[in-house]
Amino acid sequence: MDERVDVERESGRIGLGRTLRFLREKAGKTLAQLASETSYDKSYLYRLETGERLSKRAVMEDLDAHYGSGDLLVRLWRDARKDVIKDKYKAFMELEATASVMWMFQLRVPGLLQTEEYARAVLSGLPGAQTTAGNGDEVEEQVAARMGRQELLHRRPAPSVRVILDEGALRRRVPDSQVWTDQLVRLLEAAELPSVALQVLPYAAGVHDLMDSHLWLFWQRVGEPVAYAEGNGFGQSFDDPDKVLSYRLSYDRVRDAALTPVESRAFIKRLLEE
């Protein structure tokens, strides 16, 4: 799932920025003083207060601790990060955030399992997203939004997540070998989470129903399951029972052809050794 900046919706970021400024002024501090006390650059703090930038969650945690504001800034940050996601993905984000069971078939490493540096490399390589002086901030906001989504893997209770990765996702490395190594290690770490099952679909499995698209299947605590399919330039959710069942059967066939979770971890470890 690609996250793109939504320039028309800034209320969340602006609201967070106003709160940051209010807390700073209430504490009787200038931006220079705050920068000195927190080690964050003055210009960076200014851009957070004006809503020009979206920080990482860790920054909000630091500032919450600095101001003694509980988790106020973190909660506002959760709302603000939705501003960097296009409207057409809002429904997907709601499904992902509230699902109790989530199954995926992915042709690339999914955002939920990406490292920060890998996400930055991938997002920088998207058409129109090259990291330059003019749009580096846009990429950083997209990275922050993607990292924020990963919170759901560690919530209590965590959703039950099954990821089937096409072998191509593990063969298509980024240029920086350390970034790629760290990404493979992250996949192994995720596979050890009790709520995550990770499988690899090898090339040897041959042709299958999902060769041209990514697929998500969501089950909420109440209601019927929903499917979301995404391909080159499109993304669509489906709640028609017959269509969802069709996708479910396609997923089952892919899962039957995939390596087991134990075999899949061994496969990734062999790639690391290579």
76 in a structural domain: yes
pTM: 0.69
Clarify whether residues 121 and 151 are in a common domain.
yes
The H or E element spanning position 225 is: none
Same domain, 54 and 95: no
45 with 27, same domain: the answer is yes
Tokens 């920086």 -> residue: 176
- Say yes or no: 220 and 129 in one domain: yes
Distance CA 231, CA 158 (A): 27
Q: Tens of pLDDT along the chain (274 residues)?
A: 544 333 334 468 888 999 999 999 999 999 999 999 998 999 889 989 988 777 888 899 999 999 999 999 998 988 887 665 555 577 788 889 899 999 999 999 999 999 999 999 998 875 444 443 445 677 888 888 888 889 899 888 999 999 999 999 999 999 999 999 999 999 999 999 999 999 999 999 999 989 988 999 999 988 889 999 988 767 788 989 999 999 999 999 999 999 999 999 999 999 999 8
Q: Has residue 138 been placed in a domain? A: yes
Q: What CATH number has the domain bearing residue 21?
A: 1.10.260.40
Give pLDDT, residue 7. 36
* 252 in the same domain as 146: yes
Instruction: For residues 54 and 177, state if they share a domain.
Output: no
pLDDT the model gives residue 2: 45
Rounded to 5 degrees, what are φ and ψ at 215?
Answer: -140, 135
Q: Is residue 1 part of a domain?
A: no
Say whether both 123 and 53 belong to one domain.
no
- The total domain count for the chain is 2
- Please check whether residues 35 and 133 belong to one and the same domain: no
Q: Tell me what pLDDT residue 232 has.
A: 73
Looking at the structure, do residues 20 and 154 belong to the same domain, yes or no? no
Per-residue confidence (pLDDT) for residue 205, from 0 to 100: 93
In the chain, alpha helices (H): 11-26, 31-38, 42-49, 57-67, 72-80, 90-98, 116-124, 136-149, 167-171, 177-191, 241-257, 261-273
Which pair of structure tokens corresponds to residue 217? Answer: 């299947």
| Nearest partner of 238 among 228, 251, 249, judged by Cα | 228
| 99 and 220 Cβ atoms separated by less than 8 Å | yes
Domain co-membership, 53 together with 169: no
Which residues touch 258 (CB under 8 Å, ≥6 apart)?
164, 199, 200, 201, 202, 205, 264
Q: Is residue 4 part of a domain?
A: no
Residue 56, number of CB atoms within 10 A of its CB: 16
- Domain of 260 in residue numbering reads as 91-273
Boundary residue ending a domain (35, 65, 83): 83
- Cα 144 to its chain centre, rounded Å, is 8
Task: Specify whether 243 is located in the same domain as 213.
Answer: yes
Domain shared by 119 and 181, yes or no: yes
